[in-house]
Structure 1
């Protein structure tokens, strides 16, 4: 079995970052679904590309979910990075590449 050259902290960060981002995206999606239903009185489109979905609705849903999920994932990963720094005393290896 070949040994990996990646440090152990790199693997821990990768898993931690992935789990926090997926969890945040899942929560954001549920909140968006409820918010859409409350504001429009309809369920969000299951597939915005479906021709039966009105264009305005497809565009609004795609823009809302895309921007919101990306923003929440980024914020979750930043919090995860802060926790990692507090736990280890340094940035995760993937973030340390920025040199900042």
Structure 2
């Protein structure tokens, strides 16, 4: 197998790792946030913050919390996955190589 074919397979593996780890992090974080929201407010979090029946304050608070914390969780998990990828393959995936 040529080096470029191995490189392509590695980058495809990274794409799968990035998607799976990102989705997993988002799901776990959302579950934790929902549990915390219910514990602190006594209500379920808004299913759709854009719904006019949801107060603007609640919609903004939920959107900020989920947006920021899910993005952070995905970033941390994907960094760990990148470390694992480097240890396994010996290089960063093309998608994470430093900009010129």
- Per the normalisation by structure 2, the TM-score is 0.89
> Which residue is equivalent to 2:11?
10
Which blocks of at least 5 consecutive residues in structure 2 are unaligned?
none
Q: Please state how far the C-alpha of 1:42 moved relative to its aligned partner.
A: 0.5
Would you say the 8 A contact 1:9–1:93 is kept in 2? no
Would you say the 8 A contact 1:21–1:77 is kept in 2? yes
Q: Please state how far the C-alpha of 1:98 moved relative to its aligned partner.
A: 2.9
CA distance in 2, matches of 1:43, 1:98: 43
> Which residue is equivalent to 2:30?
29
Tell me the SS of whatever aligns to 1:7: helix
Root-mean-square deviation (CA, aligned residues, Å) is: 1.5
CA distance in 2, matches of 1:94, 1:54: 40
> Which residue is equivalent to 1:55?
56
Would you say the 8 A contact 1:17–1:77 is kept in 2? yes
CA distance in 1, matches of 2:56, 2:98: 42
Query: CA offsets per residue over residues 7-41 of structure 1, 9 Å max, x none?
Result: 11110100011100100110000000000000101
Would you say the 8 A contact 1:13–1:84 is kept in 2? yes
Q: Please state how far the C-alpha of 1:96 moved relative to its aligned partner.
A: 1.6
> Which residue is equivalent to 1:76?
77
Relative to its length, the structure with more helix (as a share) is: 2
CA distance in 2, matches of 1:52, 1:23: 30
